[in-house]
Amino acid sequence: MNKIEDNRAWFLILPVVLLVAFSAVVPLMTVVNYSVQDIFGPHQRAFIGVEWFREMLRDPDVQASFVRQILFSVIILAIEIPLGVLVALGLPRKGWKSSLAIVLLAIPLLVPFNVVGTIWQVYARPEIGLLGSTVNALGIPYNYTADGISAWVTIVAMDVWHWTPLVALLAFAGLRSIPDAYYQAARIDAASRLAVFRYIELPKMRSVLTIAILLRFMDSFMIYTEPFVVTGGGPGSATTFLSIRLVNMAVGQFDLGPAAAFSLMYFLVILLVSYVFYTILQRINAS
């Protein structure tokens, strides 16, 4: 006799599901509506179909922002994932030292985005900032307000400082799940440190590293507050990423139609690339 399932518990979360669905669907439908219209005023609109989408695809500023965004995300992943794993490997596994290290490591994650930007804006100032004045004192020209390379170095360093602890904590969680028997067997077999990492630790960290890569990609691809506070997208357009370009278009120029089309394309790109990342990583983990 088949057991009858009691699904009444779903009614407890139904109000939350409906609220989240409403708050997500209504703004999305508004953006879709704006993306196919040319808005002249509060009550003056003309339907133009997909013209804004074609214009955004041909816009050289949007294309340049997309290239900068991809480059930034690739650099961030290439630095933060290996660095986070190295930090996790160096953390003490047990005792009060482990707890203290985790608390200290998590401090950058607790700092709000705008405060992170303000801290690095002051810290990297070429005249008065500790980082900027020290680098210039060493004879290395550094001014993130006037030099594009300096601005990129500042933005990347700021993101690495802010988010590498997240990768390290996720990797550390994977390491803590490894039974001591694995390490005892490795010591009996006289396995090298590299062999222990390759055959014991790395396989156990694959699932958490998959989450770390996806989280860091999505977050780096949507970064806005920190570079906006530090450089404002400059010097010139050196650090004008997709998010900054979108806000300038929607708020600065008040081009709601093009901005709506741009935001939908932005969302679809993040969704598509994240899905590709997830599929590839899942296949790697399964192999």
CA geometry: angle 237, 119, 147, nearest 5 deg: 30
Single-letter code of the amino acid located at 232: G
User: Facing residues of 47 across strands?
Assistant: 37
Task: Delimit the domains of the chain by residue range.
Answer: 61-286
Architecture of the domain delimited by 61-286: Orthogonal Bundle (1.10)
Indicate if the pLDDT at residue 118 is higher than 60. Answer: yes
pLDDT top residue among 94 and 62: 62
Give tens-digit pLDDT for 174-205.
888 888 888 888 888 888 888 888 888 888 88
pTM, full prediction: 0.86
Question: To the nearest whole number, what is the mean pLDDT of the chain?
Answer: 87
Give tens-digit pLDDT for 149-158.
999 999 999 9
